[in-house]
Amino acid sequence: MQVDLEQNRPLGEKFGVTAIPTLLFFKNGKLVDGVVEVQGREVMINGKMVGNYGEAIIKETISKLSQN
């Protein structure tokens, strides 16, 4: 889902969004907890993507989340 934070600032504040775009990962309706590493790098910390990654890394991150 995509959210326009100009129209919904409280939501951005709730999740600590400081830059746009920001990619957040949820599982079963809750923000994912913990760290996900892909190719030896931390790419997600507590549900928030850290860094700027292409489609392949994002797909691998989603795949790892699906396995847990």
What pTM does this model have? 0.77
C-alpha distances in Å from residue 68, one per residue of 20, 29, 32, 54, 65: 28, 15, 11, 22, 5
Buried b (16+ CB within 10 A) or exposed e, 38-65: beeeebbeebbbeeebeeebbeebeeeb
What's the confidence (pLDDT) of residue 37? 93
Map out the domains of the chain as residue ranges: 25-67
Is 56:20 a contact under the CB 8 Å cutoff? no
Q: What is the pLDDT of residues 25-67, one digit of tens each?
A: 998 899 999 999 999 999 999 999 998 899 999 999 999 888 8
> Given pLDDT bands bounded at 50, 70 and 90, which one contains residue 20?
confident
pLDDT at 46: 93
pLDDT value at residue 43: 94
